[in-house]
């Protein structure tokens, strides 16, 4: 594999604060070398995943595929009981979820809106107004709030969007920014679907040269337990475009901290194994082929089945 330099638009580094400079150099790796990957990599990853999943894929159809998402993988690898509890849970919008979604919408506006002088507070109010008029779960939830609650949420979203503006360098349109961008890869004759929604993606591949960056923006602290999730994004991106991203990263708006990983073939094949193991566990416990393996730990405190789970209660009792 050879390496050549990237071609991002020029940035006035001296005008950036230390946090923005750190994002530019340590997370984005502005001006850094970009790896050129083997054209056979995506096919090799696909073959490995399909070989691992082909037997369970027969239980699904192209119309109703087996969907593997970041959250499902994360739950099943934390505790199979938690995964089952979540899968059976009726989805309900919560305030932290709403704030997270609205913050991503505000960040998107601030990046793509040519009127860059717009203040995060007016952007926050604007995205809440638009979201409230939508006939979806978030819109219905927002519509049921009283004006005081709406104002509180607008304040939280505005604060987080301001954090983004203060922590990230201005994102040039030539970096092809995408926010809340859906991505998927299908396997085993469309019976298995890997699905994701990238919080933030920049760049696009050039030939076999990796020039895409994918970032998970956390409104809370970005823990190392989230690393598997961004590696999963790298795998999906490789399967759908044939070229991996050059990096995947976590960025916490709460702390301004970040963790970036260079994408390598080794990381992608290790992620393939993690996805295949997680998928098998999901399939086996949802189809009652075996009982879920319980792994008590910090997740017990927010697990939907904690009231009826003895190991979880023992753990919580200390
Ligand atoms: S309470 Fe804890 S051990 Fe029990 S299912 Fe939930 S996460 Fe697993």
- Taking only the tens place, the pLDDT of each residue in 27-55 is 999 989 999 999 999 999 999 999 999 99
Q: What is the DSSP pairing of strand 178-187 with strand 213-218? A: unpaired
Say yes or no to pLDDT of 267 above 80. yes
Q: Tell me, what's the pLDDT at 305?
A: 92
pLDDT tens-place string over residues 136-151: 889 999 999 999 999 9
Please indicate, yes or no, whether residues 183 and 273 belong to a single structural domain of this protein.
yes
Please indicate, yes or no, whether residues 46 and 184 belong to a single structural domain of this protein.
yes
Asked whether residue 31 is assigned to any structural domain, the reply reads: yes
Q: Which of 75, 76, 79, 310 to mutate to test the pocket of ligand 1 (most atoms within 8 A of CB)?
A: 79
State how far the Cα of 8 lies from the Cα of 34, in Å rounded to an integer: 11
Please indicate, yes or no, whether residues 80 and 178 belong to a single structural domain of this protein.
yes
- The share of the chain scoring above pLDDT 70, in percent, equals 93
Residue 185 in contact with ligand 1 by CB distance below 6 A: no
Please indicate, yes or no, whether residues 114 and 83 belong to a single structural domain of this protein.
no
Q: Tell me, what's the pLDDT at 118?
A: 74
Backbone φ and ψ of 9, nearest 5°: -60, 160
Ligand 1 midpoint to CA 131 (Å): 34
Q: Tell me, what's the pLDDT at 115?
A: 60
Asked whether residue 73 is assigned to any structural domain, the reply reads: yes
> Among the three residues 122, 145, 173, which one is the final residue of a domain in this structure?
173
Please indicate, yes or no, whether residues 200 and 267 belong to a single structural domain of this protein.
yes
Asked whether residue 103 is assigned to any structural domain, the reply reads: yes
Ligand 1 midpoint to CA 245 (Å): 35
Residue 105 in contact with ligand 1 by CB distance below 6 A: no
Please indicate, yes or no, whether residues 178 and 274 belong to a single structural domain of this protein.
yes
Nearest atom of ligand 1 to the alpha carbon of 81: 5
* H or E element, residue 66: strand 66-69
Residue nearest to atom 4 of ligand 1 (CA): 312
Mean pLDDT for 293-311 is 93
- The residues pairing with 184 across neighbouring beta strands, listed in sequence order, are 195
Please indicate, yes or no, whether residues 71 and 11 belong to a single structural domain of this protein.
yes
Say yes or no to pLDDT of 78 above 90. yes
Residue nearest to atom 5 of ligand 1 (CA): 81
Ligand 1 midpoint to CA 309 (Å): 6
Please indicate, yes or no, whether residues 248 and 106 belong to a single structural domain of this protein.
no
In contact, 99 and 156? CB cutoff 8 Å: yes
Q: Tell me, what's the pLDDT at 226?
A: 74
Which has the closest alpha carbon to 162: 208, 225, 120, 209? 120
Q: Tell me, what's the pLDDT at 116?
A: 58
Number of domains the chain is built from: 2
Q: How confident is the model at residue 187 (pLDDT cuts 50, 70, 90)?
A: very high
C-alpha pair distances (Å), 124 with each of 66, 121, 173, 221: 36, 5, 21, 22
Q: Which of 311, 313, 316, 317 to mutate to test the pocket of ligand 1 (most atoms within 8 A of CB)?
A: 311
Residue 76 in contact with ligand 1 by CB distance below 6 A: no
Residue 311 in contact with ligand 1 by CB distance below 6 A: yes
Q: Which residue has the higher pLDDT, 113 or 110?
A: 110
In contact, 241 and 275? CB cutoff 8 Å: no
DSSP for 121-180 reads: HHHHHHHHHHHHHSSSHHHHHHHTS-HHHHHHHHHHHHHHHHHHHHHS----GGG--EEE
Say yes or no to pLDDT of 9 above 60. no
> Among the three residues 145, 173, 201, which one is the final residue of a domain in this structure?
173
Asked whether residue 296 is assigned to any structural domain, the reply reads: no
pLDDT tens-place string over residues 206-259: 999 999 999 998 876 655 567 888 999 999 999 999 999 999 999 999 899 999
In terms of C-beta density within 10 A (0-12 exposed, 13-18 middle, 19 or more buried), how is residue 197 classed? Answer: middle
Residue 309 in contact with ligand 1 by CB distance below 6 A: yes
State how far the Cα of 184 lies from the Cα of 69, in Å rounded to an integer: 9
Please indicate, yes or no, whether residues 184 and 66 belong to a single structural domain of this protein.
yes
Q: Tell me, what's the pLDDT at 46?
A: 98
Say yes or no to pLDDT of 6 above 80. no
Q: Tell me, what's the pLDDT at 228?
A: 83
Q: Which of 306, 310, 316 to mutate to test the pocket of ligand 1 (most atoms within 8 A of CB)?
A: 306
Residues 6+ apart with CB under 8 A from 131: 101, 102, 105, 138, 139, 142
Please indicate, yes or no, whether residues 10 and 82 belong to a single structural domain of this protein.
yes
Residue 305 in contact with ligand 1 by CB distance below 6 A: yes
Domain hosting 51: range is: 3-88+174-286
Asked whether residue 23 is assigned to any structural domain, the reply reads: yes
Asked whether residue 139 is assigned to any structural domain, the reply reads: yes
State how far the Cα of 182 lies from the Cα of 236, in Å rounded to an integer: 11
Q: What is the DSSP pairing of strand 33-35 with strand 247-252? A: unpaired
- Angle (CA) 265-267-268 rounded to 5° is 65
Place of tokens 């390496």: 3
């Amino acid at each position: 594999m050879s390496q050549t330099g990237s071609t991002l638009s020029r940035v006035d580094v001296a005008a950036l604060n230390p946090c923005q400079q750190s994002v530019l150099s340590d997370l984005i790796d502005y001006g850094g070398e970009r790896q050129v990957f083997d054209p056979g990599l995506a096919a090799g990853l696909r073959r490995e995943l399909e070989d691992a999943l082909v037997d369970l894929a027969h239980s699904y159809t192209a119309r109703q595929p087996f969907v593997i998402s970041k959250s499902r993988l994360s739950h099943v690898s934390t505790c199979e009981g938690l995964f089952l509890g979540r899968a059976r849970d009726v989805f309900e919008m919560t305030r932290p979820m709403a704030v997270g979604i609205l913050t991503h919408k505000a960040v998107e506006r601030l990046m793509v809106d040519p009127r860059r002088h717009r203040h995060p507070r007016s952007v926050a109010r604007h995205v809440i107004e638009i979201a409230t008029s939508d006939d979806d779960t978030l819109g219905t939830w927002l519509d049921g709030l009283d004006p005081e609650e709406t104002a509180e949420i607008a304040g939280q979203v505005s604060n987080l969007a301001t954090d983004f503006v203060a922590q990230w360098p201005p994102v040039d349109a030539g970096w092809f920014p995408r926010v809340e961008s859906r991505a998927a890869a299908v396997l085993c004759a469309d019976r298995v679907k890997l699905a994701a929604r990238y919080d933030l993606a920049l760049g696009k591949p050039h030939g076999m040269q990796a020039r895409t960056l994918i970032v998970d923006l956390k409104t809370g602290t970005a823990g190392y337990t989230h690393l598997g999730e961004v590696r999963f994004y790298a795998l999906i991106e490789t399967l759908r475009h044939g070229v991996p991203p050059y990096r995947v990263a976590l960025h916490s708006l709460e702390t301004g901290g970040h963790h970036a990983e260079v994408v390598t073939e080794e990381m992608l094949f290790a992620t393939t194994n993690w996805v295949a193991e997680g998928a098998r566990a999901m399939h086996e416990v949802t189809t009652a082929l075996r009982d879920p393996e319980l792994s008590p730990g910090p997740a017990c405190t927010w697990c939907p089945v904690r009231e009826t789970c003895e190991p979880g209660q023992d753990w919580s009792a200390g």
